[in-house]
């Protein structure tokens, strides 16, 4: 079949991911080839001290993104999209969405960006002997209990953004195991929430006189390849306001953006790792042995198939970097020389390569919010330099690019230097790597390891979500599976095998670290760590 015939026949997969600044839809065939994309740009709001999106914004963004993708299908292929083979939803992990028995939101959505859960996270970490980061759903839930919030007694369902949208489209209260691993600790041998810790939590809250236990309110855990319900007629009408989309489409387990990042970079087997760099930045390494001890800087999550993963997660990535690029775009427009934003990014990124290896005494912090790795509950974007610094445009941009990886590097150093974990490959994806050879070079220097960037790097998590949907279709639709096997020889039994086949056809480039870049980045990091006191002072002084 040609592309138009595949789309008409519904032999496709659709992934929709809610990122921090963009909702993106990617429609693919079952070999991962991109057929159409759609976008909706948005931004979180700080309301009464809480980073949030309203349900109206969430719903409108989803519909706008789908409509954008659907319009591209019509433009490219001359057809009206009425069905897809399988559909999957992914989103920013963690956070807190609580609903009552009638489906009403009980409190404002708290995103991963909120760090108002220190007391809860500390208590649960000590109780479980397992690191509970501030942004995890269970930390938010217990903090609401500690704070005596009235809505807690009325909770019927607590979940994450991707799981909520999946519930809205299917009626199923489930989530993928990778996303679940950011809700509550996972037992990889059971592919479910850790029962011992569940019991410990229930005992902890037993004196609170609540009408529910933990498993009553959390989504059910599913793994990659499992069926997670179907798109209902109501869900189809909600997603596609034109009324063209039909119900009955297979839905795969929803996933968090960490899991889709692993899939999008083929980093799902032990010894593989990836770095997703965007508004938040996180590095993940699939482990072949346990860590020697608990680290508050390292999260333990899982792949979409349940392998344990160590994650270094930074709340702050490229937001301040993007703000500076926008400033230069504003200047270009003011000068009468307006430029395409993509061209501005490319020009500034490539020029940063001319800067000093250590950024010449220029130091920046893109802390829009708190940063768990460096122990800060709030953030203040900062730019500071020594009087004798080499204050050039190249050093300014290089500093912003370095600092986008700064907090994540501190976690990577624990895994690669202190724990000496096996790292066969490290793959980068996300907008940070879109300008060829720049972000890739700086990550190689930060990690001290070769970094691969695939041609699909800028498609990122939504493409990974589409692959998860495609795999679920192969595992749950005999007709599609037989047709796939007739061409490929067999239907892959495991997600890892499916991805091996997908990536065998993908083009990419691998860049080894330059020793001079490594030395420069390490020198920059000395200033970065020492300068955290400046960030603390700014938080205290500027309200």
**What is the fold of 1-93+162-175+227-265+460-508?**
Nucleotidyltransferase; domain 5 (3.30.420)
Does domain 266-456+513-543 fall under CATH 3.20.20.70? My reply is no
Q: How far apart are CA 291 and CA 475, in angstroms?
A: 33
Mean pLDDT of all residues in the chain?
94
pLDDT of residue 181: 96
From residue 177, alpha-carbon distances to 189, 304, 310 in Å are 12, 6, 15
Closest CA to 39 of 53, 59, 13, 19: 19
* Predicted confidence (pLDDT) at residue 537 exceeds the cutoff of 70: yes
CB within 8 Å of 224: residues ≥ 6 apart = 176, 177, 252, 253, 304, 305, 468, 471, 472, 495
pLDDT of residue 282: 85
Q: How confident is the model at residue 499 (pLDDT cuts 50, 70, 90)?
A: very high
Q: How far apart are CA 195 and CA 282, in angstroms?
A: 27
Helix (H) / strand (E) containing 87: strand 86-91
Lowest-pLDDT range of 271-285, 392-406, 511-525, 527-541? 271-285
pLDDT of residue 222: 98
Lowest-pLDDT range of 117-131, 165-179, 200-214, 447-461? 447-461
pLDDT of residue 28: 97
Mean pLDDT of the region 153-171: 98
Helix (H) / strand (E) containing 263: helix 257-264
pLDDT tens profile 200-228: 999 999 999 999 999 999 999 999 999 99
**What is the fold of 95-159+184-217?**
Nucleotidyltransferase; domain 5 (3.30.420)
**304-341 exposure pattern, b = at least 16 Cβ within 10 A, e = fewer:** bbbbbbbbbbbbbbbbbbbebbeebbeeeeeeeeeeee
**In the chain, % of residues over pLDDT 70:** 99
* Predicted confidence (pLDDT) at residue 458 exceeds the cutoff of 60: no
Mean pLDDT of the region 134-145: 97
CB within 8 Å of 196: residues ≥ 6 apart = none
pLDDT of residue 186: 96
Q: How far apart are CA 159 and CA 97, in angstroms?
A: 5
pLDDT tens profile 58-94: 999 999 999 999 999 999 999 999 999 999 999 999 9
* Predicted confidence (pLDDT) at residue 394 exceeds the cutoff of 70: yes
* Predicted confidence (pLDDT) at residue 456 exceeds the cutoff of 80: no
* Predicted confidence (pLDDT) at residue 457 exceeds the cutoff of 60: no
* Predicted confidence (pLDDT) at residue 459 exceeds the cutoff of 80: no
Q: How confident is the model at residue 522 (pLDDT cuts 50, 70, 90)?
A: very high
* Predicted confidence (pLDDT) at residue 101 exceeds the cutoff of 70: yes
Bin 446: left if φ > 0, else alpha if -120 < ψ < 50, else beta: alpha
Mean pLDDT of the region 315-341: 95
pLDDT of residue 503: 87
Query: Which of 113-122, 385-394, 494-503 shows the highest mean pLDDT?
Result: 385-394
pLDDT of residue 115: 86
Q: Where in the chain is the domain with CATH 3.30.420.40?
A: 1-93+162-175+227-265+460-508, 95-159+184-217, 266-456+513-543
Beta bridge partners of 22: 41
pLDDT tens profile 398-454: 999 999 999 999 999 999 999 999 887 789 887 888 899 999 999 999 999 889 988
Q: How confident is the model at residue 287 (pLDDT cuts 50, 70, 90)?
A: very high
Q: Per the structure block, which two tokens stand in for 438?
A: 């720049």
* Predicted confidence (pLDDT) at residue 455 exceeds the cutoff of 90: no
pLDDT tens profile 335-375: 999 999 999 999 999 999 999 999 999 999 999 988 989 98
Lowest-pLDDT range of 30-34, 121-125, 273-277? 273-277
Chain centroid, CA 520 distance in Å: 29
Mean pLDDT of the region 254-262: 93
pLDDT tens profile 32-58: 999 999 999 999 999 999 999 999 999
Lowest-pLDDT range of 179-183, 259-263, 403-407, 423-427? 423-427
* Predicted confidence (pLDDT) at residue 150 exceeds the cutoff of 80: yes
Mean pLDDT of the region 95-117: 95
Q: How far apart are CA 25 and CA 69, in angstroms?
A: 6
3-state secondary structure of 494: coil
* Predicted confidence (pLDDT) at residue 505 exceeds the cutoff of 80: no
Closest CA to 26 of 8, 41, 39: 39
Q: How confident is the model at residue 265 (pLDDT cuts 50, 70, 90)?
A: confident
Q: How far apart are CA 183 and CA 142, in angstroms?
A: 12
pLDDT tens profile 463-477: 999 999 999 999 999
Q: How many CB atoms lie within 10 A of CB 139?
A: 28
From residue 214, alpha-carbon distances to 157, 179, 184, 254, 288 in Å are 10, 17, 10, 20, 30
Mean pLDDT of the region 482-487: 91
Beta bridge partners of 282: 276, 313
């Amino acid at each position: 079949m040609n592309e138009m015939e595949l789309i008409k026949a519904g032999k496709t997969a659709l992934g929709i991911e809610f990122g921090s600044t963009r909702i993106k839809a990617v429609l693919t065939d079952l070999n991962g080839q991109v057929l159409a994309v759609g976008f909706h740009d948005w931004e979180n709001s700080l309301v009464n001290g809480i980073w949030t999106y309203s349900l109206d914004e969430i719903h409108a963004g989803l519909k706008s993104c789908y409509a954008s993708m659907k319009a591209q299908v019509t433009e490219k292929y001359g057809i009206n999209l009425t069905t897809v083979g399988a559909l999957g939803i992914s989103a920013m992990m963690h956070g807190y969405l609580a609903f009552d028995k009638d489906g009403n939101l009980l409190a404002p959505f708290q995103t991963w960006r909120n760090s108002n859960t220190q007391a809860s996270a500390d208590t649960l970490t000590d109780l479980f002997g397992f690191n509970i980061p501030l942004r995890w759903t269970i930390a938010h839930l217990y903090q609401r209990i500690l704070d005596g919030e009235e809505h807690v007694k009325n909770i019927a369902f607590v979940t994450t953004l991707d799981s909520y949208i999946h519930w809205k489209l299917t009626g199923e209260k489930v989530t993928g195991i990778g996303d679940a691993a950011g809700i509550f600790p996972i037992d990889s041998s059971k592919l479910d929430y850790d029962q011992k810790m569940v019991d410990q939590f229930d005992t902890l809250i037993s004196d609170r006189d609540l009408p529910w236990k933990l498993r009553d309110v959390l989504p059910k855990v599913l793994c990659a390849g499992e069926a997670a319900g179907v798109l209902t007629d109501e869900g189809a009408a909600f997603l596609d306001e034109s009324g063209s989309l039909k119900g009955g489409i297979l839905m795969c387990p929803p996933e968090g953006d960490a899991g889709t990042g692993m899939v999008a970079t083929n980093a799902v087997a032990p010894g593989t790792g990836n770095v997703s760099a965007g508004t938040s930045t996180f590095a993940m390494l699939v482990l072949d042995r346990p860590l020697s001890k608990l680290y508050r800087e390292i999260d333990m999550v899982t792949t979409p198939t349940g392998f344990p993963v160590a994650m270094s997660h930074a709340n702050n990535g490229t937001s301040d970097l993007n703000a500076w690029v926008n400033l230069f775009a504003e200047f270009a427009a003011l000068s009468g020389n307006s430029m395409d934003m993509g061209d501005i990014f490319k020009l500034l990124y490539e020029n940063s390569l001319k800067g000093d290896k250590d950024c010449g005494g220029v130091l920046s912090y893109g802390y829009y919010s708190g940063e768990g790795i460096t122990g800060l509950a709030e953030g203040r974007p900062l730019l500071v330099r020594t009087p004798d610094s080499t204050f050039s445009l190249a050093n300014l941009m290089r500093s912003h690019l370095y600092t986008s990886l700064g907090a994540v590097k501190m976690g990577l150093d624990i895994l690669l230097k202190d724990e000496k974990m096996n790292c066969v490959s490290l793959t980068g994806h996300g907008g940070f790597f879109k300008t060829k050879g720049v972000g890739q070079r700086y990550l190689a220097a930060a990690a001290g390891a070769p970094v691969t960037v695939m041609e699909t790097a800028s498609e990122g998590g939504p493409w990974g979500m589409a692959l998860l949907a495609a795999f679920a279709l192969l595992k749950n639709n005999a007709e599609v599976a037989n047709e796939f096997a007739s061409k490929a020889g067999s239907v892959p039994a495991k997600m890892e095998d499916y991805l091996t086949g997908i990536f065998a056809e993908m083009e990419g480039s691998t860049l080894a670290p330059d020793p001079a870049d490594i030395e420069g980045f390490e020198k920059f990091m000395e200033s970065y760590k020492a300068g955290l006191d400046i960030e603390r002072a700014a938080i205290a002084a500027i309200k």
